[in-house]
């Protein structure tokens, strides 16, 4: 990460400053604790930047810990993708990767301690009965008939659970707290359940697995975490976090701090909903460039610097809000406008023939960036036949139209001034060829007789241009808050992907995956990191040159 990226401040950093100043802590130790049950999304990027950024700025440590307590939904594929995402964003975790499953023996021991203290019991209520006994927000729950079992009986039944003698759903271990608590999370929460599932780290060693709320706080304590940072939906869970640590024998007592999660317009952040999009094949995979996943954004052409900048701009607060998609797109535009070399590509081609160009092909030298001479130049072949964008020509137009019009002149980018003389059409009336003449005195200079030519259009040599598949990505949903819909799938944008067959200049034949370019006048694009090759070029549009959605909302 660049040293020039300014160090932000927020309420969590102010707490850390105070803790260090008072001597409560002498160093800072954070963690990023994803569950490996899906790919990370832009919301996780905010948490990654916060936790790893704090450790970096305070010369502390940040663990990467997989909270892997739910083996049925977890997969080593997700573990690997998460490691790649953290590294790609520009961060390194401290020491070895941590897994909550590393602590299963200790977690089991703490469960036994709670049973021995009379603070946990084995319950045999069915899941339906448990919901009924739990009460609701206006009515207190009622005690399970199994709540007052003896310590000895609880130990015996828990041992049976561990030994695989109990069917799934028939027994669970619950903390004995308060069924009348106004906080639902404190109404004797389940802390262990039976699951006959192979675990990606521990195999078949266990058939009982601890619940997240029991595991998370103990994992923090075992790792010596000083500041346990999570999102606001876990605020009530802090009571259980503290209760567990207060009632087991453990030295470290981390404190949990909550900040607002990232909500982004025109997308969903629920892993369940994202998983549905993948499993129902509504997208091509977790890394589909329309997905808000880090791997999807990367494949689309977003840079790690632009995502870090986005996280810095939105800040860290306790206020829930929804960020406009334009804010994220503004960050990548700012980055690529500065750093992406220019190139020419024609997405919807129509042929243009320069009839008075009778010599051999010319090689023109074109700047890679109009404002950065240090980015150098490239050579572009200029031939008698070129491709231009179909929308860049009209048979007649008003004065506001600055492109090619029949009988009028325009400049080809980096080349000559041309004049449209006549056209040919097919049987359906579609223009197939535009015939032009060119002024061979206008390379790099204005017409000598003082004619003013205002328009400039891009082009690609028809002889030397390379065919390419161009994928135009747009918002995945048609409404700003699809999660609020009864059926979020019903508001998927049918035009979220448009595939075009175009032509690109020869220099792009060797474009590396994820390497960004500004296609002149068309937007920012990158070679697809899965499907593109020198034999079959595929380019993804990262973002347009300007925010067209902003106009729709006006």
Tokens, residue 405: 């019009």
Q: What is the pLDDT of residues 284-303, one digit of tens each?
A: 999 999 999 999 999 999 99
Q: Taking a C-beta distance cutoff of 8 angstroms, is the pair 37, 70 a contact? A: yes
CA atoms within 13 A on the CB side of 363: 5
Q: What is the pLDDT of residues 376-410, one digit of tens each?
A: 999 999 999 999 999 999 999 998 999 999 999 99
CA atoms within 13 A on the CB side of 448: 5
**What is the distance between the alpha carbons of residues 33 and 267, in angstroms, rounded to a whole number?**
23
467 strand-pairing partners:
503
Write b or e for each residue in 331-348: b if 16 or more Cβ atoms lie within 10 A of its Cβ, otherwise e: bbbebbeeebbbbbbbbe
CA distances, 455 to each of 167, 326, 342, 393, 410 (Å): 76, 29, 18, 11, 5
Q: What is the pLDDT of residues 131-140, one digit of tens each?
A: 999 999 999 9
**What is the distance between the alpha carbons of residues 265 and 491, in angstroms, rounded to a whole number?**
13
**What is the distance between the alpha carbons of residues 16 and 31, in angstroms, rounded to a whole number?**
14
pLDDT above 50 (res 4)? no
**What is the distance between the alpha carbons of residues 387 and 272, in angstroms, rounded to a whole number?**
45
**What is the distance between the alpha carbons of residues 209 and 168, in angstroms, rounded to a whole number?**
11
Query: Based on the number of CB atoms within 10 Å of its own CB, is 199 exposed (0-12), middle (13-18) or buried (19 or more)?
Result: buried
Q: What is the pLDDT of residues 438-462, one digit of tens each?
A: 999 999 899 988 888 989 999 999 9
271 is in an annotated binding site: yes
CA atoms within 13 A on the CB side of 95: 11
Active site annotation includes 509:
no
Question: Which pLDDT band holds residue 554 (cuts at 50, 70, 90)?
Answer: very low
263 is in an annotated binding site: no
Question: Which pLDDT band holds residue 550 (cuts at 50, 70, 90)?
Answer: low
Catalytic residue among 162, 271, 308, 384: 271
Mean pLDDT of the chain: 95
Question: Which pLDDT band holds residue 9 (cuts at 50, 70, 90)?
Answer: confident
Supply the pLDDT for residue 552.
44
Question: What domains, with CATH codes, occur in the chain?
Answer: 1-261 (3.40.50.620), 265-303+312-339+466-554 (2.40.240.10), 345-458 (2.40.240.10)
Supply the pLDDT for residue 306.
98
Q: What is the pLDDT of residues 49-87, one digit of tens each?
A: 999 999 999 999 999 999 999 999 999 999 999 999 999
**What is the distance between the alpha carbons of residues 49 and 39, in angstroms, rounded to a whole number?**
17
45 is in an annotated binding site: yes
87 is in an annotated binding site: no
418 is in an annotated binding site: no
pLDDT above 70 (res 553)? no
Write b or e for each residue in 110-129: b if 16 or more Cβ atoms lie within 10 A of its Cβ, otherwise e: bbbebbeeeebbbbebeeee
In this prediction, residues 424-433 reach a mean pLDDT of 96
pLDDT above 50 (res 423)? yes
**What is the distance between the alpha carbons of residues 397 and 402, in angstroms, rounded to a whole number?**
9
Supply the pLDDT for residue 1.
47
Supply the pLDDT for residue 347.
98
**What is the distance between the alpha carbons of residues 253 and 247, in angstroms, rounded to a whole number?**
11
Q: Taking a C-beta distance cutoff of 8 angstroms, is the pair 185, 226 a contact? A: no
266 is in an annotated binding site: no
Catalytic residue among 147, 195, 261, 408: 261
Q: What is the pLDDT of residues 241-286, one digit of tens each?
A: 999 999 999 999 999 999 999 999 999 999 999 999 999 999 999 9
Tokens, residue 407: 């009988």
Supply the pLDDT for residue 448.
86
46 is in an annotated binding site: yes
Q: What is the pLDDT of residues 90-139, one digit of tens each?
A: 999 999 999 999 999 999 999 999 999 999 999 999 999 999 999 999 99
Supply the pLDDT for residue 5.
52
Active site annotation includes 5:
no
Supply the pLDDT for residue 399.
87
Active site annotation includes 521:
no
Q: Which residues contact 47 (CB under 8 A, 6 or more apart)?
A: 32, 229, 231
- Select from 43, 489, 75 the least CA-distant residue to 293: 43
269 is in an annotated binding site: yes
Catalytic residue among 35, 329, 389, 514: 35
Supply the pLDDT for residue 6.
57
504 strand-pairing partners:
345, 466
- In the chain, what percentage of residues exceed pLDDT 90? 94
């Amino acid at each position: 990460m660049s040293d020039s990226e300014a160090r932000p401040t927020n309420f969590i950093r102010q707490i850390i400053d105070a803790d260090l100043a008072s001597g409560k802590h002498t160093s800072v130790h954070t963690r990023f604790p994803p569950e490996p049950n899906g790919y990370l999304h832009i919301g996780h990027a905010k948490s990654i930047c916060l936790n790893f950024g704090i450790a970096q700025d305070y010369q502390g440590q940040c663990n990467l810990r997989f909270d892997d307590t739910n083996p049925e939904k977890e997969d080593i594929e997700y573990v690997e993708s998460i490691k790649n995402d953290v590294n790609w964003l520009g961060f390194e975790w401290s020491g070895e990767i941590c897994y909550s499953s590393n602590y299963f023996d200790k977690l089991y021991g703490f469960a036994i301690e709670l049973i021995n203290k009379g603070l946990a019991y084995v319950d045999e209520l069915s899941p339906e009965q448990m919901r009924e006994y739990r009460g609701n927000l206006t009515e207190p729950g009622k005690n399970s008939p199994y709540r007052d079992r003896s310590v000895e009986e609880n130990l015996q039944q828990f041992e049976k659970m561990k030994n695989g003698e109990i069917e799934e759903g028939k027994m669970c271990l619950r903390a004995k707290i308060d069924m009348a608590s106004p906080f639902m999370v404190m109404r004797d929460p389940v802390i262990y359940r039976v699951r006959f599932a192979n675990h990606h780290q521990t195999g078949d060693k266990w058939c009982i697995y601890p619940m997240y709320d029991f595991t998370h706080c103990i994992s923090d304590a075992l790792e010596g975490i000083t500041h346990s940072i999570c999102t606001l939906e876990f605020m009530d869970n802090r009571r259980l976090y503290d209760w567990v640590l207060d009632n087991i024998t453990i030295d470290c007592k981390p404190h949990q701090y909550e900040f607002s999660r990232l909500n982004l317009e025109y997308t969903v952040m629920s892993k369940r909903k994202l998983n549905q999009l993948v499993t129902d094949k509504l997208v091509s995979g977790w890394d589909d460039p329309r997905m808000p996943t880090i791997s999807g954004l990367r494949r689309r052409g977003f840079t790690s610097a632009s995502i870090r900048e986005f996280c810095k701009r939105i800040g860290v607060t306790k206020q829930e809000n929804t960020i406009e998609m334009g804010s994220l797109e503004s960050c990548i535009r700012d980055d690529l406008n500065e750093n992406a070399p220019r190139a020419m590509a024609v997405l919807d081609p129509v042929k243009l023939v320069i009839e008075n160009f009778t010599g051999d092909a010319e090689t023109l030298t074109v700047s890679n960036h109009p404002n950065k001479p240090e980015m150098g130049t490239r050579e572009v072949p200029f031939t008698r036949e070129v491709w231009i964008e179909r929308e860049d020509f009209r048979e007649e137009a008003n004065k506001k139209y600055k492109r090619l019009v029949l009988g009028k002149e325009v400049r080809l980018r980096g080349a000559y001034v041309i004049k449209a003389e006549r056209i040919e059409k097919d049987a359906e009336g579609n223009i197939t060829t535009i015939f032009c003449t060119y002024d061979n005195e206008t390379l790099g200079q204005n017409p000598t007789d003082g004619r003013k030519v205002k328009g400039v259009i891009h082009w690609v040599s028809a002889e030397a241009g390379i065919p390419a598949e161009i994928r135009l990505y747009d918002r995945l949903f048609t409404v700003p808050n699809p999660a609020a819909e009864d059926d979020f799938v019903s508001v998927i944008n049918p035009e979220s992907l448009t595939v075009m067959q175009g032509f690109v200049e020869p220099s792009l034949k060797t474009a590396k995956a994820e390497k960004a370019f500004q296609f002149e006048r068309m937007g920012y694009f990158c070679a697809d990191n899965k499907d593109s090759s020198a034999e079959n070029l595929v380019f993804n549009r990262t973002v347009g040159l300007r925010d067209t959605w902003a106009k729709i909302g006006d």
